Amino acid sequence: MSSFNEQFLYSIIIILIGYVLKRSSVIKEKDGEGLSRIIFNLTLPALIIVTFNDITMEYSLFLLVIIAFIYGVISAVLGIFFFRKQKRDIKGMMVMMVSGFNIGLFAYPLVEGIWGREGLQYFGMFDVGNSFIVFGVIYLIGSYYSGERVPLNLKTITKKMSKSIPFMVYIVVVLLNLIGIKLPTFLIDTADIISVANMPLSLLLLGIYLNFTFDKSYLPLIVKYMAVKYTVGIVVGIGLFLVLPFNDMFRYTVLIGLILPASMSVLPYAVEFNYDKRFIGTVSNMTIITSFLLIWLIANFVI
C-alpha cells in the first residue's frame, strides 16, 4: 500500500472513531464545540509556529496568498450570479459556502501525513489568503444578505480578523521570519509537543460532526451548490496546475486547495446572522466527503 493510501486509511479510521463515539453517545455533537476551540486556539496555532519557524520564505509562496484571495473573491461573484434568483437569505448562505475553504481542520491533517512540514508550509500560505476571505469577505457577505447593519469598512474587517488566533499567529510568525527573528527554543519545543495532537483531534472532530441524514427538500439546492463549487474549483485548479511555472508542491497546493470543503466558519456565522444552520451543516458534510474522495483520486492518479 502506498504512503498516500496509508494516510487516507488512517484518516478514515480516526474519522470513523469520532463518528462511532458520537453515535454511541460516548461523545455528544455539542462536545465538538469545545474540541474545535482547543484545535483552533491551541493545537493549530502551535502547528503553525513550528511549521513556519524555520521556513525559507520564497517569493513564490506569497503568490499562494494572492491566488487564494483572488479565487475567493471570484467565487463570491460567481455565487452571487448563479444564485441570484434565490431568496435573499438563501443567496447569502450559498455565497458564503462557495467562497472559503476548510484548511485548518480538513486539509492540515491530510497534508501533514502525506507531505510533512514542507506541505504544511505551502498550504499554510494558501490559508493566509483564505483567511482574508473567511474572516473578511464571507463575514461581510453574510451580514449584508441577512439584513444586519454591520458597517462595511476596514475597521470591521480588521476587528473580525484580529479575533482569529490562527490567522494572527500566521501573520506574526511570517513577519518574524521575514525580519530574521527566531522564537525561543523552549517555545518551539513546547509548541512542537502540542502540535502533535492537531492531526488526530482534527480528524476526530470531523467524525463527530459527520452526519449522513438530511432533509430531502434540500437536495436540488445542494446539487446546484456542489456543481458550482466543484466544477469551478476543478477547472481552475487543473488550469493553474498545468500553466504555473513552479515546483510540484506549489502546483499540488493549488490543485487540491481549490477543491477543499466549505469553511467551518460559516456555521458560527449562520448562528450570528440567523441562517439555516441545519442546511449549512448538511452541505458542509457533503463537501467533506466529496473533497476527501477527490483528494484521494488526485493522490493516486496525479501525484
For the stretch 190-228, pLDDT in tens is 999 999 998 888 888 888 888 777 778 888 999 999 999
Distance (Å, rounded) from C-alpha 251 to C-alpha 64?
10
Given this model, what pLDDT does residue 2 score?
Answer: 62
Given this model, what pLDDT does residue 11 score?
Answer: 87
Reported as a pLDDT band with limits 50, 70 and 90, residue 301 is confident
Q: Give the three cell numbers for residue 15.
A: 474519522
- Has residue 171 got a pLDDT over 90? no
Q: Is residue 96 part of a domain?
A: yes
What CATH number is attached to the domain comprising 233? 1.20.1530
Q: Is residue 269 part of a domain?
A: yes
Q: Is residue 205 part of a domain?
A: no
Q: Is residue 302 part of a domain?
A: no
Reported as a pLDDT band with limits 50, 70 and 90, residue 21 is very high
Question: Minimal CA–CA distance to 15: which of 202, 203, 264, 282?
Answer: 203
- Has residue 252 got a pLDDT over 80? yes
Reported as a pLDDT band with limits 50, 70 and 90, residue 115 is confident
Q: Is residue 208 part of a domain?
A: no
Q: Is residue 293 part of a domain?
A: yes
Q: Is residue 209 part of a domain?
A: no
Q: Which residue has the higher pLDDT, 284 or 254?
A: 254
> Contact, 275 vs 93, CB < 8 A?
yes
Q: Considering Cα of 152, then 153, then 154, then 156, what sign does the dihedral take?
A: negative
In Å, how far are 2, 57, 201, 211 from 206, measured between CA atoms? 24, 31, 9, 10
Q: Is residue 68 part of a domain?
A: yes
- Has residue 1 got a pLDDT over 60? no
Q: Which domain holds residue 148?
A: 3-200+215-297
Given this model, what pLDDT does residue 48 score?
Answer: 87
Reported as a pLDDT band with limits 50, 70 and 90, residue 59 is confident
Q: Could you give the angle at the alpha carbon of 162 between the alpha carbons of 48 and 99, nearest 5°?
A: 75
Number of structural domains in the chain: 1
- Has residue 32 got a pLDDT over 70? yes
- Has residue 184 got a pLDDT over 70? yes
The overall pTM is greater than 0.75: yes
Question: Minimal CA–CA distance to 208: which of 4, 32, 57?
Answer: 32
Given this model, what pLDDT does residue 266 score?
Answer: 85
